[in-house]
Amino acid sequence: GLWRVPWNISLIIADIKRLLLELEDYTISHIFREANMVADYVAKQGHNYPTLTRWFESPTPELSVLIRKDELG
């Protein structure tokens, strides 16, 4: 069947394309969530907030652990 993204990301994509035009050199690549646990954690947390929210001044203990794991590889 037909599957649609449940949110409108076209404006976000347009902003990204506009910002990329300001850079001389860049690379876009896919990283599996297992290889970037910090981004996966932050993305999941973002779903809990209906509007743009700054939800921490410093990383939560759980996020700090994930940051450290990413640093260690």
**pLDDT value of position 24:** 93
The whole-model pTM stands at: 0.52
Instruction: Identify whether the C-beta of residue 33 lies closer than 8 Å to the C-beta of residue 65.
Output: no
Q: How far apart are CA 31 and CA 1, in angstroms?
A: 27
Give the model's confidence band at 27: pLDDT under 50 very low, under 70 low, under 90 confident, else very high: very high
Q: How far apart are CA 61 and CA 45, in angstroms?
A: 14
Q: How far apart are CA 63 and CA 47, in angstroms?
A: 16
Quick check: 20 pLDDT over 90?
Answer: yes
- Residues contacting residue 49 through CB under 8 Å, at least 6 positions apart: 55
Average pLDDT, the chain: 82
Q: φ, ψ for residue 48 (rounded to 5)?
A: -85, -5
**pLDDT value of position 36:** 86
pLDDT in tens, 28-64: 888 888 888 888 888 887 777 777 666 667 888 888 9
